[in-house]
Structure 1
Amino acid sequence: MSLFNKAYAEHTGGAFVLRIEDTDRARYVADSERQIFDTLRWLGLPWDEGPDVGGPYAPYRQSERLDTYRPFVEQLIESGHAYHCWCSPERLAQLRAEQQASKAPVTGYDRLCYGKTRDERAALPGFSPTPVVRMLIPDDAPLQFTDVIRGEVSAPRPDDQVILKADGFPTYHLAVVVDDHLMGITHVVRGEEWISSTPKHVLLYRFLGLTPPAFAHMPLLRNTDKSKISKRKNPAARLLWFREQGYLPEALRNFLQLLAYPPVGESEKATFEEFVAAFDWAKVNTVGPVFDLKKLDWLNGEYIRSLSSDELAERIVEHLRFTGEWAEPDPAKVDLLRRATPLIQERLGVLSEALGKVAFLFTTDADLVVADDARAQLGENSAEVLDAAIEALQGLDAFDTASIEAALRASLVDGLGLKPRFAFGPVRVGITGSRVSPPLFESIELLGRDSSLARLRALRATL
């Protein structure tokens, strides 16, 4: 939703407002606000107004605006559009259970408290001394509204929604109506799960004599099996997960665009600026798009390959710093990674794969472990191959990629008459400990003469 909010705000020259809606104290998580800030900034979606940047309608945390909501609640009570409810949580739970058991056609609050004084209600069972405030839904409540994306939309009839809780905090429904009005919000963009709540909001605007904003309800993402994505069961529902895995923010942003919007040009790759320039609510897909990570993996790879090797190296180092693998990067390691990055760029899917692909460069010769599958594929002539390779490399004057390749080809392919696959396999295993590695000759140059020879001799000694 933030992506489309931001795009429309920029397209129309408006302001993108970040408001922390934290009135549900039972679900409040202390670190969640910082995660929102960090994730949106990482995605390249900064806000024009918000808790940490200020703005003309501060404060932007609803928990800091409690005095703002009270007059609106009192106005609704005085006008007869809201009333106090003293029903205890136990009584409400029993009511819900009875309605479910009887399969009642009309469910929700039964208005036991409506029209009663505190004393009158106290004489009845299920009384709580601290009341909530409920809005009174009229029989002729409008259940249709115009959606920017979907056109005319119908929603089920709501029951008498709580708008002020016993702890003095407003519910989402009242708080957003009041704040959207006071902050001059023109467009509310949110998920389609809020369609059923929109009639309540439209009613509150009418009760308070206010003009409602335009509503745009985005489709909900689905798993590949078409089920709804669950934050508890699917880690990909948490945006921070993508940063942890090493996806590029521009690739994820592009991917999210494509989930609910057609490509803006001939290619599926598009910058955010191109998306903003072409933005049109009429093009937004209303069918829940499938969140296919394979598509994101492909797109991320395309973005990785479009970076310069130096820029990619900087991204990898930043990722390692973020994950804590390289909390304080050693300049020598950073330089080695920068020189190794061109060797892995074409094969890299996400940033988190980078260090594993060049781990042999950051492993001491004594600590290098030859993988079992790599050792198993060594042929009977591997000792002969390693002897020849050691002799060829130790005799080089210049230890660069071209000289290394020429010497090994002359010694192993031409001298021993081996095909490259069989000639260079034992050398690769000795240098990297693996069957698969970045380009071999470049890797040997990066590793250096002394380490390369030490590793080849160590493997040879085991044969």
Structure 2
Amino acid sequence: MIVRTRFAPSPTGYLHLGGARTALFAWAYARHFGGTFILRIEDTDLERSTPQAVQAILDGMAWLGLQHDEGPFYQMQRMDRYREVVGQMLASGSAYHCYSSPAEVEAMRERQRAAGDKPRYDGTWRPEPGKSLPPVPPDRKPVVRFRNPVDGEVTWNDLVKGQITISNREMDDLVIARPDGTPTYNFCVAVDDWDMQISHVIRGDDHVNNTPRQINILYALGATLPEYGHLPMILGTDGEKLSKRHGAVSVMDYPAQGFLQEAMLNYLARLGWSHGDEEIFSMAQFIAWFDLDHLSKSPAQFNPEKLAWVNNHYIKQADDVHLAELVRPLMVQEGAQFDGAPDLALAIGLMKERANTLNEVAAATMLFYRQPQPDAALLAQHLTDVIKPALADFAARCGSVVYDKASIGAMLKEVLAAHQLKMPQLAMPLRLILTGQLQTPAIDAVIALFGQSLVRQRLAAYLD
């Protein structure tokens, strides 16, 4: 089988985590089988679809690196094709004109609700042998309804949920074209999947109820059915549907928060899919491993702490020069001064171990790129008359020591021994003078990174 998958978002908002995961799984399935991944923008909801939302989807897909092989296709650019198919269905009798007004349809449903029946279109205008149709109301444009089968059932083997069966009696005759001729959602999706020869439809389980309608339309068109797999939803940490209060923001908010593309992809891949106990893996590994047999039937749970842990892993593994390219603009915004300062890649290599995001890397690394402003009370506490001779001795030795971590560490021990001090007694005032703060990585590593000239310059201001 030639595998052809698609991601088909409606541009009515940003690309959220659920949509991104759906896109990732459809993309990976196509890549696993050497197939084709198609991007389709389902923009027929004219009231809610916006160019900004379209761009947000394209930006999100680009940041994630989920490159499509065909598309993007826009449904609004396929209107002629939809009208053509509607005409064919009217001619074949699988669709018909319905002149019931919205008010009349609602009245039907109210009567059915009052009788305890499921509200539905009652088939007033559905042609049947020997049935007389009402007179056509003057000056009323009809909708076009699909002639849904009244008997039997729709069954498909869902690739995630297993066998699903829906009785045709549960479905009424769906409107497939509005009075102005514009087609409706389920009809457009069925025609698109047919025309684009989609082999596998991987989407959220909020579409399960659409599937039997689309299957019946495809049957009526004589089309080959794709296979369907419906992914359970993503829940928040409280077990409720993921929403903004859980951090369910646009995918493009995550790079702004300092998350790496590869971390987000790795995390999304594990939301509802597994390969043994593997937690960290490359996209090449994911593509090689990915199948639909190991998708969970239960909802996944979004865990911000787990995402941060995964991001920390990729930050620690990342090339420091590459990280410097990503972090520098963030530091410039905070007023970082790079002239005469340590090499940024080296500084990031020292500071990145405990950072969960690039923003944290930038904030931590700023200590090397700003003028220190130590608190006066802390200076008074740590820079005492007892410590100043040791600092002066340290400053004098700085002129001749080799500036690497090991040599500086050895020299610090010599100074401590000569003045009968312990490391914190000397390290704390050094940290304050050099960085303006008491918490830094190992003081010998910090001193080595600052370099001889800058260290002696900052010490002199306090020793003189």
TM-score interval, normalised by the smaller of the two chains: 0.7 to 0.9
Tell me the SS of whatever aligns to 2:192: helix
Q: Is the 8 A contact 1:137 1:160 kept in 2?
A: yes
In structure 1, how many angstroms separate the alpha carbons of the residues matched to 2:366 and 2:179?
A: 57
Residues 1:147 and 2:151 are matched in the alignment:
no
Distance 1:317 1:387, change over 3 A: farther
User: TM-score scaled to structure 2, two decimals?
Assistant: 0.81
Identity over aligned pairs, percent: 31
**Quick check: 1:352 aligned with 2:359?**
yes
**Partners in 2 of 1:386 and 1:28 — Cα distance?**
68
1:177-216 equivalences under 5 Å are: 177-216=190-229
1:135–1:163 contact (8 Å) kept in structure 2 = yes
* Deviation (angstroms), 1:203: 0.9
The CA distance in 1 between the partners of 2:102 and 2:320, in whole Å, is 56
Q: Which position in structure 2 is the counterpart of 1:299? A: 310
Compare 289-298 and 39-48 and name the one that shifted more.
39-48
* Match in the other structure for 2:9: none
**What is the distance in 2 between the residues matched to 1:172 and 1:390?**
78
Aligned twin of 1:173: 186
How much does 1:179 deviate?
Answer: 1.2
Shift of 1:258: 1.5
Counterpart in 2 of 1:125? Answer: none
After superposition, the Cα gap between the structure-2 partners of 1:145 and 1:118, relative to the gap in structure 1 and judged at 3 Å, is same
Q: Flag the 1:376–1:330 CA change in 2: closer, same or farther, 3 A.
A: closer
Contact 1:236 1:242 in 2 (8 A): no
Alignment of 1:2 with 2:6, yes or no, is no
User: How far does residue 383 in structure 1 lie from its aligned partner after superposition?
Assistant: 3.1
Contact 2:39/2:71 (8 A) holds in 1: yes
1:383 aligns with 2:395: no
How many angstroms does 1:189 deviate by? 0.7
* Gap runs ≥5 in structure 1: 52-59, 123-127
Deviation at 1:129, TM superposition (A): 4.8
Query: Per the alignment, do residues 416 and 330 of structure 1 end up closer, same or farther by CA in structure 2, a change over 3 Å counting?
Result: closer
Q: 1:77 aligns with which of 90, 93, 112?
A: 90
Cross-structure match for 2:325: 317
Match of 2:343, as an amino acid? Answer: L
User: Which secondary structure does the structure 1 equivalent of 2:253 belong to?
Assistant: helix
CA distance in 2, matches of 1:166, 1:398: 88
Q: Distance in 2 between matches of 1:112 and 1:395?
A: 99
Greater mean alpha carbon deviation, residues 160-169 or residues 178-187: 160-169
TM alignment of 1:62-461, pairs within 5 A: 62-85=75-98, 98=110, 102=114, 104-110=116-122, 120-121=136-137, 129=140, 131-140=142-151, 142-155=153-166, 157-166=170-179, 168-230=181-243, 232-263=244-275, 267-307=278-318, 311-318=319-326, 321=329, 336-363=343-370, 365=371, 368-370=372-374, 380-384=381-385, 385=387, 388-390=390-392, 392-393=394-395, 395-398=397-400, 400-402=403-405, 403-411=407-415, 413-449=416-452, 451-453=454-456, 455-456=458-459
Structure 2 portions without partners, runs of 5+: 1-21
Distance 2:292 2:195 in 1: 25
Change (3 A) 1:381 1:14: closer
- Cα deviation 1:142-194 (Å, max 9, x = unaligned): 24322122221135733433322455432221112111111111111101110
Letter in 1 for 2:320: L
CA distance in 1, matches of 2:365, 2:191: 55
SS in 2 for 1:65: helix
C-alpha distance in 2 between matches for 1:75 and 1:171: 16
Q: Distance in 2 between matches of 1:94 and 1:324?
A: 63
2:66 pairs with 1:45: yes
Q: Which secondary structure does the structure 2 equivalent of 1:16 belong to? A: strand
Separation of aligned partners in 2, 1:238 and 1:179: 27
| C-alpha distance in 1 between matches for 2:221 and 2:94 | 9
- 1:383 and 1:89, CA in 2 relative to 1: closer, same or farther beyond 3 A? farther
The structure-2 alpha-carbon separation of the partners of 1:381 and 1:355, relative to structure 1 and needing over 3 Å to count, comes to closer
Deviation of 1:429 after TM superposition, in Å, equals 2.3
- 8 Å CA contact 2:382, 2:425 repeated in 1: no
Conserved? CA contact 1:219–1:287, under 8 Å: yes
Residue by residue over 1:333-389, the C-alpha shift from the partner in whole angstroms, topping out at 9 and shown as x without a partner, is 9972112121013222121211100112222x3xx4446xxx665673523335642
Return 240-249 or 173-182, whichever deviates more. 240-249
Q: Which amino acid in the other structure matches residue 344 of structure 2?
A: L
After TM superposition, give the deviation of residue 419 of structure 1 in Å.
2.6
In 2, Cα distance between equivalents of 1:199 and 1:49: 26
How much does 1:48 deviate? 1.2
Aligned equivalents of 2:426 and 2:136: distance in 1? Answer: 95
Cα deviation, residue 410, structure 1: 3.5
Residues 179 and 359 of structure 1, relative CA distance in 2, 3 Å threshold: same
Amino acid at match of 2:383: S
Q: Aligned-residue CA RMSD in angstroms?
A: 3.5
Partner of 1:24: 45
SS at match of 2:36: coil
Structure 1 residues 196, 395: CA separation in 2 closer, same or farther (over 3 Å shift)? same
Q: Which has the larger displacement, 249-258 or 392-401?
A: 392-401
Residue type of the partner of 1:27? R
- Say if 2:32 and 2:290, in contact at 8 Å, map to a contact too: yes
The Cα shift of 1:215 comes to 0.7
Counterpart AA for 2:384: A
SS at match of 1:380: helix
Q: State TM-score, norm by structure 1.
A: 0.81
Deviation of residue 415 (structure 1)? 4.1
Does the aligned pair in 1 maintain the 2:113–2:119 contact within 8 Å? no
Question: What letter is aligned with 1:440?
Answer: I
Contact 2:327 2:362 in 1 (8 A): no
Q: Does the CA-based 8 Å contact 2:342-2:449 persist in structure 1?
A: no
The structural deviation recorded for 1:406 is 4.1
Residue pair 2:391, 2:426 contacting (<8 A) in 1 also: no
